[in-house]
Amino acid sequence: MKQLFLLIVCYLAFLQVNAQYTEIINSKRPGFSESPYGVGTNVFQVESGFFYRKNQIAKTFDIDNSYGANVFLRYGKFLEKLEINLDFIYQKDRVVFHNILNSYTNVSGISRLTFGAKYLIYNQKYTDKSKEIHSWKKRTSFDKKRLIPSVGAYVGVNTNFLSPYYKEEGISLKGAILLQNDISSRFVVLTNLYADKIMQDMEYGYILTATYAINLKWSIFGENQGIRKKIENNEMQFGVGTAYLLNNNVQFDFAARTTFAAKSNDVYLALGGSWRLDKHVKETKSEDVLKGEKKGSFFSRLFKKKRGKAPKTRNIKAKKRKVKEKKIKKKRKKKRRIKKAKKGTPSFYDEDKKSKKKKRKRKRKNKE
């Protein structure tokens, strides 16, 4: 087991590192899906919020309503493509027993404690069509590369350090394949295929999320999740929400969801925010959206400044273009003057020649 662990560490150490860091916070809230991109090295991030769930009960013994707080901690170290995270939930539930007279009991405690790691396997790159100046059609046409997603992998361990009411039979595993398509600079689609509680009563499903940026501050999303369970009934969830970017390191969000199951329907509300401590080394190069930069949150994956090239080089290139344009204009003016001179029409070019000849004759006379 130790030898296998050492081989995995050595393999990851020799992989090519592509920068994922962005100047804008990369948050997975308020949706449940995850982007394949991490937060970047030396970045610590906290994503937390409060939730309330109301259940329309159809069973004789079930949870009537619950509320609590969830905390998602993320940290980037060692590699830009690698992220370590912790998912923690503390909640309070009201359990109801339907009989001739309904009876209620309250339970509370830690319901989830999962350690995980995420790694970017493939980073899709796109052509920068903003530089296309010759053809409007090429500049506005859809890039088919955007249909190929960036790919990431997630592996987690569901610990059993939970409160008595929420305890499982033992430790279980969680795995997911994370996909992301940047359909445009404002519209992003995330797809997660996951399996949870492996080695126990396994459940698996998918999460499909579409996000759209209205402007630099506001963004909206819609989400669909399907869950297939072995013991309990299958579920289908639909959610919508919005996020507001306060500054580069702080984001607030709100979401509402509903769950459709065979014997119950839930309503879920969430309010929270995200904050990061940014200690990323600024010297490392980071790519923009078109070159496949990380795009994990509403804002960081939709609005980013290009950081692949320094601003000085851009200014130099702009100056060179202006000089070339001036030279071309001068050449065109000279050609026009020459054509007019050949036709016999007077021009400034001819007048300059005549004035020069007169000046030479005067100089000669003065010398004599």
Please give the chain's pLDDT, 368 residues, in tens.
Answer: 344 333 333 333 333 334 467 788 989 898 999 999 999 899 999 999 999 999 876 666 678 889 999 999 999 988 889 999 999 999 999 988 776 667 788 899 999 999 999 999 999 887 777 777 777 777 777 888 889 999 999 999 999 999 998 888 889 999 999 999 999 888 999 999 999 999 888 899 999 999 999 998 999 999 999 998 877 778 899 999 999 999 999 999 999 999 887 666 789 999 999 999 988 876 544 444 444 444 455 555 555 444 444 455 566 777 778 888 888 888 888 887 777 776 655 555 555 666 767 777 777 777 66
pLDDT at 287: 44
Cis peptide before 30 (omega within 30 of 0): yes
Please name the helix (run of DSSP H) or strand (run of DSSP E) that holds residue 312, with its range, or none. helix 311-343
pLDDT at 268: 94
pLDDT at 292: 46
CATH class of 18-308: mainly beta
pLDDT at 18: 44
Residue at token pair 């030479």 = 360
Q: 343 is written with which tokens?
A: 């036709």
Which three-class secondary structure state does DSSP give residue 3? helix
- What is the distance between the alpha carbons of residues 255 and 274, in angstroms, rounded to a whole number? 14
Contact 279, 42 (CB under 8 A): yes
What pTM, to 2 d.p., does this model score?
Answer: 0.69
pLDDT at 299: 56
pLDDT at 143: 81
pLDDT at 207: 96
pLDDT at 343: 64
pLDDT at 338: 78
For residue 247, what are the CA distances in angstroms to 26, 105, 205, 221?
12, 43, 34, 20
User: Could you write out the DSSP letters of every residue in 155-206?
Assistant: EEEE-----GGG--SS-EEEEEEEEEEE-SSSEEEEEEEEEEEETSS-EEEE
Amino acid identity, position 342: K
pLDDT at 11: 37
pLDDT at 297: 54
Q: What angle do helix axes 311-343 and 348-367 make, rounded to 10 degrees?
A: 80
Sign of CA dihedral 32, 303, 38, 73: negative
Please count the other Cβ atoms lying within 10 Å of the Cβ belonging to residue 183. Answer: 14
